[in-house]
Structure 1
Amino acid sequence: MNSNKMFFIFILFFSTMISISSNSWFGCWIGLEINLMSFIPLISKSNNLLASEAALKYFLTQSIASINFLFYIIMKMILFKNFEINNMISMMINSSMLMKMGAAPFHFWFPNIVEGLSWFNNFILMTWQKITPMILLSYYFNKNLLIFSILLNIIIGAIGGLNQTSLRKMMAFSSINNLGWMISSIMVSENLWFFYLFMYSFLISIMCFLFYMMNSYFINQLFIMNMKPMIKISLLVNFLSLGGLPPFIGFFPKWIIINFLMMNNFYLMTFIFIMMSLIMLFFYIRIIYSSFMMNYFKMKWFKFNFKNNLFTILNFFSIFSIMGIILSTMFFF
C-alpha cells in the first residue's frame, strides 16, 4: 500500500460520505463525481492494458450516468409541481443510479470492466461503489421500475454466469444477482439493506482474498492447484454461504427478504428469487468442484499454502459462516 493508493482510497470513502450525508441533490452529484475521480487512478495504476481499457470504460459509463443525473435534478427543480413530469423524473433519476451501480438493464459495462481489474479493485467495485447509488435510490424511488429491475437483475445474474470460465466474470454476475436482492431489501427498509450489504461484503471479501492469495483468475487454475484440504473446505463453506444455503450465515438475510416478500404478496417474485438462487448455486458449485474432490490429479511440483496468520483468519471467518443458523436464531430472539 503506497501513499498514493492510500490517498485515493481515503478520497473514495470520503466522497461516499459526502453523497450520503448531503441535504441536496447537487451535493449528492458532487460526491458521486469525486468518487469517480478517485476510483479511476486505483484502476489504471497497473501496467496492464486491460486495466487501462477498464478505466476508460468505467469513466465513460459513470460520466454518462452522472450527466443524466445532473440533467434530471435540474429538471426536477424547474418542474417540481407537475405530477406526471415528476413521475418521469423519478424514473430517470432511478435509471441513472441503476446505471452507476451496474444493475440490469444497465449492466452491460459491469462484467467487461471487472475482467480488467485486480481482486482488490473488484472488491471495492462490488461492495463500496454500490453504497452511494443505493442510498440515493432509497430517497426517491419509482416502485414499478425497481420491481422490473429486480427481476432482470435476478434472472440475468443467474443465467449470465452459467457459461463463464473466468472467476472475475462469475463474481460479476453473482454481484448483479445480489443487487436484485439488495434493491428489494432497500424497498423494505434501510436497516435490512445495510445488513444484507454487510453480509455480502463479508463473504465477497473472503472470496476476493482467497483468489488473490491463490493468484487465480480462471476455473481451471483451481483444478491444477495442490491446495491443503482446510483451504478447500474454507472455499467450499464460504461459497455455499454466498449461495444462500440454510446452515450458513449467507442464508439469513435472504430468509428475511423472502419473508417480507411473502408478507407483501409478491409470490411470483419470491418463486423467481428461489429458482434463480438454485442456478447461482450450480455455478458456485462449478467453482468449488475441486474442493468436493479431495483426491484428484495433483501436480506434485506445485505446492500451495498460506502463511499461518492469514490461514487462522480465514478459518475464523469460515467458522463464522458455518454458525449461521445459531447466530440467526440468536438475532430472532
Structure 2
Amino acid sequence: MLMNSTKMMFLMILTTSTIMVYSSSSFLMTWMSMEINLISFLPIVTKSKKLKDQSMKYFIIQSLSSLTMLLSVIMNLKIKTPINFENLLMMSLMMKMGLIPFHLWIISFMEKLSWTNCFLMNTIQKMTPTLIIPQMINFKITLMPMILSLLVAPIMMLKTNSMKKIISYSSIYNSPWMIYSMFISKKFFLMFFSIYMILNFMLMSKLKFYNIMFLNQITEKNLLTKMNLSINLISMSGMPPMLGFFPKWMILNKMNELSYFISMSMLVSTFISTFIYIKILSSSMMNQTTKKKFFKTKNLNELEIMINFTGLTYFLMLKPN
C-alpha cells in the first residue's frame, strides 16, 4: 500500500475512531465512532478498480450490521417485545466481525485485499466489536456463537490452499479468545491483542515479501523460510512453547473460573487448529524443489524465529499460585 498523505490521513482517522469507541461512555457515541471507522476504512481498501465491488460488499455488510445494532437498542428502549434485544445485538456484532455463520463475506473479501489491508482487517477492525460485546451482552448469550466459531473455523481451514483464506479462518478462530479476554479484564485483552498483532505482522510481512498466495509456493523457499512460516502459524494456534501460547494459557486459566464448557471448547479448538497447521505445513517442509533458493533475509528469519520462542521465557518467569 502506497502511504501517501491521503491514506495516512484516513489511517489516522481509523485509529482515532477506534480510540473513541474505547473512551466513549454512551452508545450513541460508540455507534457514531463505528460509522466513522467504516467511512475511513473504505478509501484505504479501494485502491484499484478490481476492489470496487469488494468495497461495496464491505459497505453493505457493515451498514446492515450497524442498522441492526441500532434497531436492537431502539427496540429495547421504546418497544415492549418478546424478542430479546441482546440476541439481535449479538447477531449484528457477529456480522460485523465475520464470525460463523456470518463468515462467508469476510473470506471472499480478504482474498482480494493486499497483505497490508488484511493486517488491518485482522487487528484494528476487530477491536471495536470486541469491546462492545462484553459491555452490552450477557455472558450466557455468547456461549453458542463463540463455541461455533471456535470449533468450525479450524476444520474449514483443512480444505483450502489459499494463504489469505487460512489467515481469515485463523482470525475467526482467534476472535472468541479476544472477546473472552475482554470479559476477564482489559489487561488480558491488551496482552493477547498485542501478541496477536505482532504474530500477524511478522507472518504477513513475510508472505508479502515472498509474494506467497498459496501453500504450494512455500515449497520453493529455503528451509529457514519454511521453518519461519511454520513456526509463525503454529504460534498463532497456541502451541507451547511459542509466543502465542503464553496469552492463551493465561486466558484459559481464568476461563475455568467462568465456564468449564468454554475452556474445554478452547482447548479442543486449539488441538484441532494445531493438528491442521502441522498437517498442512508438513507437506511443504518435506517436499523439496530443484529451483535455486536465495538467502537474502537469513538474519531476519532467525530474528523472527527467536521472537516466537520468547514464549518459553515468559513461561519460565511465571510463578505458581
Normalising by structure 2, report the TM-score. Answer: 0.91
Q: Which residue of 1 aligns with 2:239?
A: 245
1:109 and 2:105 equivalent? yes
- With 182-191 and 164-173 compared, the bigger mean Cα shift is at 182-191
Moved over 6 A (4+): none
Q: Specify every segment of 5 or more residues in structure 1 that has no aligned partner in the other structure, as ranges.
A: none
Match for residue 26 of structure 2 among 24, 27, 32: 24
Map 1:1-80 → 2, pairs under 5 A? 1-47=3-49, 49=50, 51-78=51-78
2:262 and 2:24 map into 1 onto residues whose CA distance is 34
2:221 and 2:23 map into 1 onto residues whose CA distance is 48
1:283 and 2:276 equivalent? yes
1:258 and 2:252 equivalent? yes
Match for residue 88 of structure 2 among 86, 92, 112: 92
8 A contact 2:162–2:213 mirrored in 1: yes
Return closer, same or farther for 1:69/1:265 CA change in 2, 3 Å cut-off. Answer: closer
SS of 1:161's partner is helix
2:25 and 2:240 map into 1 onto residues whose CA distance is 40
1:21 and 1:140 map into 2 onto residues whose CA distance is 15
Q: Which residue of 1 aligns with 2:202?
A: 206
The one-letter code matched in structure 1 to 2:52 is S
1:118 and 2:114 equivalent? yes
2:13 and 2:318 map into 1 onto residues whose CA distance is 35
- With 257-266 and 31-40 compared, the bigger mean Cα shift is at 257-266
1:203 and 1:106 map into 2 onto residues whose CA distance is 25
1:286 and 1:41 map into 2 onto residues whose CA distance is 38
Q: Specify every segment of 5 or more residues in structure 2 that has no aligned partner in the other structure, as ranges.
A: none
SS of 1:162's partner is helix
SS of 1:97's partner is helix
8 A contact 1:158–1:173 mirrored in 2: yes
2:259 and 2:71 map into 1 onto residues whose CA distance is 36
1:103 and 1:145 map into 2 onto residues whose CA distance is 15
2:299 and 2:28 map into 1 onto residues whose CA distance is 46
Aligned-residue RMSD, C-alpha: 2.2
1:178 and 2:165 equivalent? no
Number of residue pairs the alignment of both structures matches: 318
SS of 1:288's partner is helix
Q: Deviations over 1:102-135 (max 9, x none)?
A: 1223222111111111111001001110101111
Normalising by structure 1, report the TM-score. Answer: 0.88
1:326 and 2:300 equivalent? no
